[in-house]
Amino acid sequence: MWIDVHVHAVLVKELTDDRPELLRDARELFDLRTSPQPLSTLLGEMDACNVETCVLLPINCEKSLGSRMPSNAEVAGLVKRAGKRLIGFSSVDPSAGKSALSDLKESHDTLGLKGLKLNPAMQAFDPSGPEALETYEEAEKLEMPILIHTGLTFSNRFSIGHNHPLIYDDIARKHPKLKLCLAHMGWPWVWDAVAVTIRNPNVYLDTSGTFPGTPTETMRQIMSLISARVIENTLGDRLMFGSDYPRIEMNKMFNAISSLPLRQDVLEAILRDNALAFLGEE
């Protein structure tokens, strides 16, 4: 049974029915044009891929864009409906200062959320600034891993100046107990993301949509940059399966990953074991 560490909650129908503005925000802010689907559709996609658990991600863009996509409480509600099939992450806006720290602690202590999702481009914050550093420190105290968007953001409405993976080398070195996932492998700065990961045992990568094409084209592009030998020898314990659902269909990304020309033990680590380590579930 496998684990998908990168699933967005923004177009779950149970949420858009209750809060229709989520649909508008998904289209206008998150560039998702697909129709809302019930939670049962996500669970069905998971079943089809033999995925036991996925990590459900919100993005708190309330300060930058006037939206929570969705809120931490809404994510916690979906986790409660689905039981052990979902692991909920929270999202806070580091530029909100002390309220971000209290929101993060509440999401952990009261809502039972297990990690933190950040997107410096959409949230318009400096990931190496003092408020972000305070947020990392709080996450480290709470033992909450962070999944953070790195690399390209296709909409040019957002700056990608704070999306470079090299930013996180110093952060990872200064917070060795804080687990960081550089989502999207930092594409197009893939080798920089790999370098940060090789240097820091607390840094992980995920396979979620990294290249403007099909999942198979995505992974073909990655394998053209990073050989199977490099993946097996240096990333085999830190690369994780992430689909980017609903932007990318889970089964298509799963098939692209499971057919990679890698040793079976490395494939199994990418599809499950590395996520368990990142999530502290070993």
CA 178, CA 195: separation in Å to the nearest integer? 18
- Work out whether the CA dihedral 236, 239, 240, 245 comes out positive or negative: negative
- The pLDDT value recorded for residue 15 is 95
Confidence check: pLDDT of 158 > 90:
no
- The pLDDT value recorded for residue 83 is 85
CA 237, CA 272: separation in Å to the nearest integer? 10
- The pLDDT value recorded for residue 221 is 87
- The pLDDT value recorded for residue 71 is 96
- Find out whether 224 and 213 touch, Cβ atoms under 8 Å: no
Confidence check: pLDDT of 155 > 90:
no
pLDDT tens digits, one per residue of 105-122: 999 999 999 999 999 999
CA 37 centroid distance within chain: 20
The letter for the amino acid at 118 is L
- The pLDDT value recorded for residue 209 is 82
CA 216, CA 257: separation in Å to the nearest integer? 8
Mean pLDDT, to the nearest integer, of 57-77? 94
The letter for the amino acid at 61 is C
CATH architecture classification, 2-279:
Alpha-Beta Barrel (3.20)
CA 153, CA 52: separation in Å to the nearest integer? 29
Two tokens, residue 179: 């687990």
Given the DSSP bridges, would you call strands 180-183 and 146-149 parallel, antiparallel or unpaired? parallel
The letter for the amino acid at 123 is Q
Mean pLDDT, to the nearest integer, of 95-106? 94
pLDDT tens digits, one per residue of 183-198: 999 999 999 999 999 9
Position 54 confidence tier, pLDDT thresholds 50, 70, 90: very high
> Greater confidence, 29 or 92?
92
CA 101, CA 134: separation in Å to the nearest integer? 8
Two tokens, residue 10: 């923004």
CA 206, CA 183: separation in Å to the nearest integer? 5
Two tokens, residue 73: 């409480």
- The pLDDT value recorded for residue 152 is 87
> Greater confidence, 252 or 154?
252
- The pLDDT value recorded for residue 210 is 74
